[in-house]
């Protein structure tokens, strides 16, 4: 019988037999430890794992590809139960030393043992990753390097309440794992001084004095905290170590249950065989270099190694500030995404949101054991419902290479005092599958900010802005596919359901309850004066003339042109002229008359699109010119 445990597959019938010991802490209490020493080593480097999930689970098999083949390992593995958990439960008391201080003493105790050669590194995902940052902050003299996966050290309001909406399933699972965060979270539903203090003391890149290899996944929920922290490590950690930090981003989920884990090929309903076990192989190269002194060229590897989904290959970068251009795709009343504004000056689309019948969570960056993780098809269970608006591009005639965070800009209204807007970005395959890339939510009472003093009721049917920044991703929407944006008002249980009443959002002090919920009619505006759009960070995206609706003839002379461009519209009236680069960026905008000359001498050489729009009729003319 094979089971998935701690991010790797093990045989449930065989057990490893470690040496059981206990490690004394600064207060005299001890933490339970299992020590795995390969028979081929008398002394050697050590990898420390600190876990709140029961160290005994590792007797089923060890990580980093070791599984039950301990004697093939070049490392001694020490697994320790956190204070207050499992074998270390009796060490807990109010005011006990921090996990970071406990980690310090674990590292230094290990370094003094006869079987340790004085080199100690750390490894682990999720909570096992976060504690590595806490340990490194205390700067144990014998800590050589750390390798946290799908983890960052911050404790931020947005982790639990993104845009003011509680992550119901996430908190549910954390409670089930024994962290008991619900009472604390419900006591701080808006961003207050407690959150501000927590965010300040738990963001400490300047305190990480050893090389750090961070491993993450594009379908993981910690992306929005991992990437900023890595960027800060590159600029704020001690100068001597800054260039040694590296980041690996694969097409992986968070893991913790099911078959999809960090490093597996299968992720949700998609498979990425080119990413299989890269986390283990690269982590071992990292440890081999720093703990064993191997001459393996590790320092010359790129600072950032990332997987470009869609293309299904690995790419390198010096940081996560990818070279892209912002391309806007506008929502229109035909439920299309187009690169030009709608021509109508009024109009919106509406749908009904019933809190008792919410749109279901299907895949995504989830954590709860009963939910699917990763990319899943939204077409049947989500997009076929009547409480959603589905906007799609035409079939792409070229690849759209996205690197970074998509930003959804909605113009919205509701007939209730409060409501949510939820969005899903998907990659639509030629066979009709709508595979989730990522999702986001926004609670409208927090539209002015997430502090308690910022909250405000909606005025029914009044127009408001709703801006949702999605987690970063690197994915290529291939030619023949479509880019899709789903807009609804729920994504449950990923996010808490809004009762639409404007009253307390968590009645009964519960993270998942409704009190006298009301059905809302919500609107998304899709017109030229109230435009909704999604901004995608695209690389070398060539905007096609065929993608722009052209109603009237427009001639340009000379063409090619060096300095002055003559425009001749053959309709009378006042016009607005917009010039776009071929990546979709607006480079010039101005009003013109029927005939006009425009100085484009300042533009770089290349191909551009001119869009001329009649201000009265909104009729559009389009032409292309070459700047010499």
Taking residue 15's Cβ as centre, other Cβ atoms within 10 Å add up to 13
Q: What share of the chain is helix, strand, coil (3-state, %, to 5)?
A: 20, 35, 45
DSSP 40: T
**CATH number attached to the domain at 325-539:** 2.60.120.260
Residue with tokens 């699972």: 173
> Taking the C-alpha atoms of 563, 566, 567 and 570 in order, what is their torsion angle to the nearest 10 degrees?
-170
| Cβ-contact 487, 389 below 8 angstroms | yes
Phi-psi region of 502 (alpha: psi -120 to 50; beta: other; left: phi over 0): left
pLDDT tens digits, 390-427: 999 999 999 999 999 999 999 999 999 999 999 999 99
153 closest CA partner among 183, 137, 133: 133
> H/E element holding 236?
helix 223-236
Low pLDDT (below 70) residues in the chain: 1-13, 543-554, 569-574, 582-585, 593-595, 613-622
Q: Quick: pLDDT tens for 275-285.
A: 999 999 999 99
Instruction: Indicate the pairing of strand 313-317 with strand 304-308.
Output: antiparallel
Cβ–Cβ under 8 Å, residues 75 and 147: no
Let me know if 260 is exposed, middle or buried by CB neighbors in 10 A (0-12, 13-18, 19+).
Answer: buried
Question: What are the Cα distances from residue 3, in Å, to 54, 61, 186, 276, 592?
Answer: 16, 10, 35, 18, 69
Cβ-contact 574, 593 below 8 angstroms: yes
C-beta atoms surrounding 308 within 10 Å: 20
What is the reported pLDDT for 550?
42
* pLDDT value of residue 586: 74
Question: What is the DSSP-derived secondary structure letter of residue 90?
Answer: G
Considering only CA atoms, which of 513, 517, 514, 506 is closest in space to residue 183? 506
Pick the CATH number of 2-149+204-317 from 3.40.50.720, 3.40.190.100, 3.40.50.1820, 2.40.50.100: 3.40.50.1820
CA distances from 338 to 143, 395, 453 (A): 53, 11, 38
CATH fold match for the domains 325-539 and 548-627:
no
What's the rounded Cα separation, in Å, for the pair 243 and 136?
17
User: In sequence order, what DSSP letters do the residues of 250-306 get, joined into one string?
Assistant: EEEE--SSSS--TT-SEETTEE-GGGTTHHHHHHHHHHHHHHH---S-GGGS-SEEE
333, 350 Cβ separation under 8 angstroms: no
**Orientation of helix 127-137 relative to helix 99-111, angle to 10°:** 80
Structure-block tokens of residue 472: 């970063």
Contacts of 151 (CB under 8 A, 6+ apart): 124, 125, 126, 127, 128, 129, 130, 132, 133, 214, 222, 226
Cβ neighbourhood burial of 48 (10 Å; 0-12, 13-18, 19+): buried
CA distance 160 to 139: 29
Phi, psi of 288 (to 5 degrees): -60, -40
Report pLDDT digits (tens) over 153-183. 999 999 999 999 999 999 999 999 999 999 9
What are the structural domain ranges in the chain? 2-149+204-317, 325-539, 548-627
Q: What CATH topology corresponds to 548-627?
A: Immunoglobulin-like (2.60.40)
């Amino acid at each position: 019988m094979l089971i998935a445990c701690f991010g790797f597959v093990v045989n449930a019938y065989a057990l490893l037999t470690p040496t059981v010991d206990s490690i004394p802490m600064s207060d005299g209490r001890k933490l339970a430890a299992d020590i795995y020493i390969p028979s081929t080593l008398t002394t050697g480097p050590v990898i420390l794992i600190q876990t709140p999930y029961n160290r005994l689970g590792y007797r089923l098999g060890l990580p980093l590809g070791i599984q039950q083949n301990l004697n093939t390992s070049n490392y001694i593995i020490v697994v320790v139960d956190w204070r207050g958990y499992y074998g270390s439960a009796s060490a807990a008391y109010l005011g006990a030393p921090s996990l970071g201080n406990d980690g310090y003493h674990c590292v230094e105790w290990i370094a003094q043992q006869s079987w340790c050669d004085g080199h100690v590194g750390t490894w682990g995902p999720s909570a096992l990753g976060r504690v590595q940052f806490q340990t490194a902050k205390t700067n144990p003299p014998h800590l050589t390097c750390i390798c946290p996966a799908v983890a960052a050290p911050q404790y931020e309001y947005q982790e639990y309440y993104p845009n003011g909406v509680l992550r119901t399933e996430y908190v549910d699972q954390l409670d089930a794992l024994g962290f008991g965060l619900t009472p604390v979270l419900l006591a701080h539903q808006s961003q207050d001084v407690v959150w501000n203090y927590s965010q300040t003391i738990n963001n400490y890149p300047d305190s990480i004095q050893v090389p750090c290899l961070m491993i993450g996944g594009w379908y993981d929920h910690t992306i929005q905290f991992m990437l900023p922290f890595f960027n800060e490590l590159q600029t704020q950690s001690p100068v001597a170590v800054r260039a040694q930090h590296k980041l690996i981003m694969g097409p992986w989920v968070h893991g913790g249950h099911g078959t999809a884990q960090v490093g597996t090929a299968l992720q949700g309903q998609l498979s990425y065989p080119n990413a299989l076990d890269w986390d283990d192989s690269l982590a071992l190269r990292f440890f081999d270099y720093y703990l064993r002194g191997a001459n393996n060229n590790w320092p010359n590897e790129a600072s950032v190694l990332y997987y470009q989904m869609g293309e299904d290959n690995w790419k390198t970068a010096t940081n996560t500030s990818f070279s892209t251009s912002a391309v806007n795709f506008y929502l229109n009343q035909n439920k299309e995404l187009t690169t030009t504004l709608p021509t109508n000056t009024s109009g919106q689309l509406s749908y009904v949101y019933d809190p008792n019948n919410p749109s279901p969570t299907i895949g995504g960056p989830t954590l709860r054991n009963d939910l699917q993780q990763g990319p899943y098809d939204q077409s049947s269970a989500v997009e076929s419902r009547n409480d959603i608006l589905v906007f799609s591009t035409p079939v792409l005639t070229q690849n759209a290479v996205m690197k970074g965070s998509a930003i959804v800009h909605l113009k919205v209204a509701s007939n209730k005092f409060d409501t949510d807007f939820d969005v899903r970005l998907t990659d639509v395959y030629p066979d009709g599958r709508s595979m989730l890339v990522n999702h986001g939510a926004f609670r409208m009472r927090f539209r002015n900010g997430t502090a308690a003093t910022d909250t405000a009721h909606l005025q029914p049917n009044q127009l408001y802005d709703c801006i949702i920044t999605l987690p970063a991703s690197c994915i290529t929407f291939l030619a023949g596919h479509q880019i899709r944006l789903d807009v609804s008002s729920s994504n449950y249980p990923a996010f808490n359901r809004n009762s639409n009443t404007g009253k307390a959002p968590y009645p009964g002090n519960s993270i998942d309850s409704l009190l006298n919920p009301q059905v809302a009619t919500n609107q998304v505006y899709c017109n030229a004066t109230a435009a909704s759009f999604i901004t995608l960070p695209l690389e070398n995206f060539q905007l096609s003339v065929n993608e722009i609706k052209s109603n009237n003839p427009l001639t340009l002379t000379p063409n090619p042109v060096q300095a002055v461009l003559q425009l001749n519209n053959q309709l009378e009236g006042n016009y607005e002229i917009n010039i776009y680069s071929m990546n979709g960026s607006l480079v010039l905008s101005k009003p013109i008359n029927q005939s006009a000359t425009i100085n484009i001498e300042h533009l770089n050489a290349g191909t551009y699109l001119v869009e001329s729009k009649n201000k009265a009729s909104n009729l559009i003319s389009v032409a292309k010119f070459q700047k010499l």
